[in-house]
């Protein structure tokens, strides 16, 4: 398995808040996908999308992204042809947020991964029988539940993508550290999502390292097509 990425350099057409930018970038990616028959089908399916994107950078804490400034963002995927198509489609996609200055396509080099950090908030929704779905919070469900959900989510993504069945007792995570003190509220459509940022530390065996590498290309947990759970290396 290999992880690929597009680095898109842009100039903003308007001011936008940090928390609103995820939704607008997602809408532009979706609009681009609708220009291609195969990608349109992927967009409509209720299944793993196998891509993830970052927020705009550089970012200044507590400040909006500003009209006329130059920023970049990354889109990653384990699907090479998907990104190559998207690279060309984005150039043809009109939008009110930015003008594209350049797009680069690169392979994300595989190295040993001790830990990853969720640079964008990660979303975990807990569904219990007879109850309404709820966002994970430390106070409602605890850290062990979060670790289990991260582990099971990346295993399911790997199994579906590769067609391989992994051991039932596989645990790729050896530790997790929550960064935010309270859930991060992310505006979305007419409501909101609750997200969290955390550091994840991985087992050293080859299979755990393979799944950690995959997480760079598909994100941690849910709502990856909204840019939630984009991971970077812990420095």
For 75-112, what is each residue's pLDDT tens digit?
A: 999 999 999 999 999 999 999 999 999 999 999 999 99
Domains along the sequence of the chain with CATH: 3-108 (3.30.70.1890), 115-233 (3.30.70.1900)
The closest alpha carbon to 175, from 208, 207, 206, 214, belongs to 208
User: Which pLDDT band, with edges at 50, 70 and 90, does 151 fall under?
Assistant: very high
Count the Cβ atoms, other than its own, within 10 Å of residue 149: 19
Predicted confidence at residue 130, as pLDDT, reads: 78
Tell me, what's the pLDDT at 183? 92
- At 214 the pLDDT is 98
Q: What is the mean pLDDT of the chain?
A: 93
Going by C-beta distance under 8 Å and a sequence separation of 6 or more, which residues neighbour residue 39?
32, 33, 82, 85, 86, 89
| CA separation for the pair 199, 119 (Å, rounded) | 9
- pLDDT tens digit sequence for 171-225: 999 999 999 999 999 988 888 999 999 999 999 999 999 999 999 999 999 999 9
Whether residue 11 is predicted with pLDDT greater than 90 in this model: the reply is yes
């Amino acid at each position: 398995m290999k992880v690929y990425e597009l680095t898109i350099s842009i100039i903003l057409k308007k001011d936008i808040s940090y928390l609103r930018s995820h939704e607008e970038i997602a809408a532009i990616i979706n609009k681009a996908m609708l220009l291609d028959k195969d990608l349109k089908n992927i967009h409509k399916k209720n299944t793993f999308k196998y891509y993830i994107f970052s927020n705009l950078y550089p970012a200044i804490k507590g400040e909006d992204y500003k009209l006329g400034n130059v920023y970049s963002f990354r889109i990653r995927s384990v699907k090479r042809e998907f990104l190559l198509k998207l690279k060309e489609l984005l150039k043809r996609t009109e939008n009110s947020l930015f003008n594209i200055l350049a797009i680069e396509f690169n392979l994300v080099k595989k190295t040993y991964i001790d830990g990853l950090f969720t640079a964008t908030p990660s979303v975990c929704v807990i569904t219990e029988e007879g109850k309404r779905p709820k966002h994970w919070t430390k106070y409602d469900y605890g850290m062990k539940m979060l670790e289990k959900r991260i582990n099971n989510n990346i295993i399911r993504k790997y199994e579906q993508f590769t067609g391989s069945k992994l051991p039932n007792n596989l645990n790729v995570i050896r530790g997790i550290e929550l960064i935010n003190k309270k859930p991060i509220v992310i505006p979305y459509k007419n409501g909101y999502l609750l997200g969290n940022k955390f550091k994840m530390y991985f087992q050293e065996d080859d299979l755990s390292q393979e799944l950690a590498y995959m997480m760079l290309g598909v994100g941690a947990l849910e709502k990856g097509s909204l840019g939630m759970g984009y991971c970077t290396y812990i420095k």
